[in-house]
Amino acid sequence: MTRLPALVLVALFGAFSARPVWAQGPLGIAFVQAPEAATGVCAGSSPDEAFACARRACAAGGVKPGQCLRVAWCFPAGWSTDVFVQDSNGLHGHEFSCGWPSRELAEAAAALRCEKTRRERVEMCEVVRVFGPDGGEVGR
């Protein structure tokens, strides 16, 4: 019988919390890029929310929000990587990969992306950021 009061308290706390328990599920992650200029990354519970946040982060890099183009969205976010790539003509940008079930798989996919035998004109390719399932950047 002592379980019943505890269950009632848990149910009441969940009912009055700022975000309902059923809405506290996994997050998605959005990536935007202003070519040759800036990037933005944000996690959110919907594509619209996450892309709006990522666009603001990109614009903070000194470009207009409209220059920040949607590049990728994954739900759930999983593990993600940001790979900087520059070709032999000097053109550069970021390539994103997301939704991986582990950090090791995300980094292995990024390493494949950078294999010189697969990309003849690429002079520079390296993982610059890794993101955890909550969308937060983790140390390299």
Question: Are 34 and 69 a contacting pair, CB within 8 Å?
Answer: yes
Query: How many Cα atoms within 13 Å fall on the side-chain side of residue 47?
Result: 7
- Chain position carrying tokens 């959005």: 30
How confident is the model at residue 24, as a pLDDT? 61
Those residues with Cβ within 8 angstroms of residue 31's Cβ, 6 or more apart along the chain or in another chain: 39, 40, 41, 54, 70, 71, 72, 73, 80, 82, 94, 96, 98
Domain boundaries, the chain: 26-138
Residue-level pLDDT, tens digit, the chain, 140 residues: 444 444 333 333 333 334 443 356 689 999 999 998 999 999 999 999 999 999 999 999 999 999 999 999 999 999 999 999 999 999 999 999 999 999 999 999 999 999 988 888 899 999 999 999 999 999 76
Helix locations, 17-98, DSSP H? 47-59
Partner residues linked to 114 by β-bridges: none
Q: How far is CA 42 from CA 9, 21, 126, in A?
A: 34, 22, 21
How confident is the model at residue 120, as a pLDDT? 84
pTM higher than 0.85 for the full model? Answer: no
Question: Are 54 and 30 a contacting pair, CB within 8 Å?
Answer: yes
Helix locations, the chain, DSSP H? 3-16, 47-59, 103-113
